[in-house]
Amino acid sequence: MMRQYELVERVQRYKPDVNEALLNKAYVYAMQKHGHQKRASGDPYFSHPLEVAAILTEMHMDEATIAVALLHDTIEDTTATRAEIDELFGPEMGKLVEGLTKLKKLDLVSKKAEQAENLRKLLLAISEDVRVLLVKLADRLHNMRTLDHMPEAKRLRIAEETMDIYAPLAGRMGMQGMREELEEIAFRYINPEAYRAVTARLAEIFERNKDVLSEIEKALSGLFEKHAIKAGVKSRQKKPWSVFRKMEAKALSFEQLSDIFGFRVVVDTVEDCYRALGAIHTTWSMVPGRFKDYISTPKQNDYRSIHTTIVGPSRQRVELQIRTREMNKIAEYGVAAHSIYKDTGGKTNGAAHAISKETNAYAWLRRTIEQLAEGDNPEDFLENTKLELFQDQVFCFTPKGMLIALPRGATPIDFAYAVHTDVGDTCVGAKVNGRIMPLMTELKNGDEVEIIRSKAQVPPAAWESVVVTGKARAAIRRATKNAIRKQYSGLGARILERAFERAGKTFTKESLKPVLHRLARKDIEDVLASVGRGELASTDVMKAVFPDYKDERVTPAAPKQREEGWSKIRNAAGMLFQIPGRAARKDKDQPRDGAVPIRGVRGDLPVRFAPEGAVPGDRIVGIVQPGTGITIYPIQSPALQAFDDQPERWIDVRWDIDERTKERFPARVSVTAINAPGSLADIAQVVASNDANIHTLSMVRTAPDFTEMLIDLEVWDLKHLNRLLSQLKDNSSVSDARRVNG
């Protein structure tokens, strides 16, 4: 185990003015707190935080970060408290250690939910200070290096979590070396057979090609010497997981992989990068479509390099990366390569703000966390976080030349939400490279995307299954919830207007404000939506606003009325609740003041129809169904008997059809047809010729001579339905056709 002075010496090599007192204090405190604790391997537990600190010294991190690494498990696994660490090391370091502490005693049903909540807590801590991320990744790397000592089931779970979250997170932060090691170890445990096969094959290929690799290195070095370019050339071999993933994704064999080996060219300046590229391309032919300039267009994780593939010496394909030494350092260590913390003297104030300006990677992380921490349930949060961590990207442009980086497979909808949430919410179409294209089009590198917008647009819920970015999914889900809430709120307002009018009062939203506490709702819209969903009765709202209010409506005595017959119930209900069609009126088509207008399922209210359907021209009544809105029944439906003792659920409704918005309505019919070949075709022909639509069809009863069918139709209105029934009856294949009313 590393000694106290050895740790200090490690840091002194790159930071001569190291705060030795801080490191010594953290070392002694952590060792005392972990005491005689043991790891699964049998080693002293303190060896773990010490190794985590050692990993961070390899990244040349400051002494404050090293101290946090030593302390990172104290709150979680010892008697140490946040208050104690604040007192000894200061509140800033206490906050960092707490950010690395898993949530305990979570009252969550699933392990996935627990994992998501701990990830949410970690990411929020990272958004405030990037050193939380660096310590966490070093912690995970050491745990992966010692994974052999864990039980098999736990090994697999930790390896999968590493592959899904921590390796991509390291990649997103530009820490390619750490990402590759995490992936390689995780691959070994997730798919050991594939790992062994790929590793053995790579070793065999390297042995076979080492002379060729040496020859290419010499040829490249000679070329740069000829052009007076100071450059280091080194061959590199693709990692096992990277090879396996590519073979699996593209269904390739080893022989078809052209980039198992590559060469890295490291020069002094950006100018030298392009001079080296010119020398290479004028000597050997470039492979078309295999050139990428990440210097002029850096990746979101700050990666910068020129990639090209040539047909080089020995007519072999050679993949090259050309970069400066500084670029190479950032490619290896990512955000850890930035010297933002080197001169803070152990203080963290303002550091996260400074690094967010310096690195695209950290700025991206903070934006992502802000988007993901907006109240999604744990499983959605975990899924969206994984989506956001995908490394493969496409780069697209707005018409004004703004660069937008997106995951591969992204659509114009993802692009719109990446520009701004409002742009996504109002998106109705897109032009890709000047041509109008479907919103499901998969974007490619270099595409110019122009979003066509409309203020009347509400994002369809179906978009959620099309988009690939977490930001777009979260925004669509939020917009859908808001649209549904708005529908319920509108319905609730109309129900309350009607209830107040019956009581001789005038309804205003402001009248609800003083009684929110009595209704246990946080705002007025919440009250209205609760009434619309049927969770809060209008009479309860009336009593809250007017404490002396008494509901003078009489609940029908159901058993007695049933004895007198359904017709008397209908009349009584019409008089008591002013249900359309149940109260006698001279003009049945005259609009009714106070009645809720119904336009169908495409309207602005949460409406659905009873199984037997209802069509314009029917006398209708609405029944509030808790949680789903209003169900519309035709007045003659026997199903209404079930609600005759629940007057608070009856809603006065009327048709309000907009002729410009064509919509068919549901109606159920029973057809008795002759049991002969072609009968069903004849019935379908009558329906089609009348511009109606069959939604569902079922055979109710089949006899030797007749078949009875139940058909759910979609028609324009009552006249349309009656005309269709008349023509069905006249058809030679049909014995009888009639409407079903429940």
Which residues are within 8 A (CB) of 386 and not within 5 positions of it... i.e. 6 or more apart?
A: 164, 165, 168
Place of tokens 């590198």: 445
CA angle 533, 536, 541 (to 5 degrees): 130
| Active-site residue identified among 20, 76, 497, 682 | 76
| Active-site residue identified among 20, 43, 58, 77 | 77
Q: Rounded to whole angstroms, how far apart are CA atoms 24 and 8?
A: 8
Q: Which of 696, 566, 544 has its CA nearest to residue 641?
A: 566
User: What do you get for the CA distance between the two ends of the chain, in Å?
Assistant: 80
Phi then psi dihedrals of residue 673, to 5 deg: -115, 155
- 447 Rama class: left (phi>0) / alpha (psi -120 to 50) / beta: beta
Active site residue 414: no
Pair of tokens at residue 84: 């104690």
SS3 category, 681: helix
Q: Rounded to whole angstroms, how far apart are CA atoms 372 and 366?
A: 10
SS3 category, 549: coil
Give one DSSP letter per residue of 271-293, joined into a string. HHHHHHHHHHHHHSEEPTT--EE
Tell me how crowded residue 22 is: count the other CB atoms within 10 A of its CB.
20
Torsion angle of C-alpha atoms 535, 462, 400, 396, degrees rounded to 10: 130
**Cβ–Cβ under 8 Å, residues 481 and 400:** no
Q: Which of 620, 618, 728, 649 has its CA nearest to residue 683?
A: 728
Beta pairing, strands 706-715 & 734-739: unpaired
Place of tokens 């390099």: 305
SS3 category, 20: helix
What sign does the dihedral 664-533-492-638 (CA atoms) show?
Answer: positive
What sign does the dihedral 609-611-617-619 (CA atoms) show?
Answer: negative
**Cβ–Cβ under 8 Å, residues 480 and 459:** yes
CA angle 360, 338, 276 (to 5 degrees): 80
**Cβ–Cβ under 8 Å, residues 362 and 97:** no
Give one DSSP letter per residue of 173-222, joined into a string. TT-HHHHHHHHHHHHHHHSHHHHHHHHHHHHHHHHHHHHHHHHHHHHHHH
Q: Rounded to whole angstroms, how far apart are CA atoms 401 and 523?
A: 43
Q: Which of 364, 354, 476 has its CA nearest to residue 411?
A: 476
Pair of tokens at residue 320: 């090259």
Active site residue 76: yes
What sign does the dihedral 609-612-615-619 (CA atoms) show?
Answer: negative
Q: Rounded to whole angstroms, how far apart are CA atoms 120 and 108?
A: 14
Known catalytic residues are 76-77
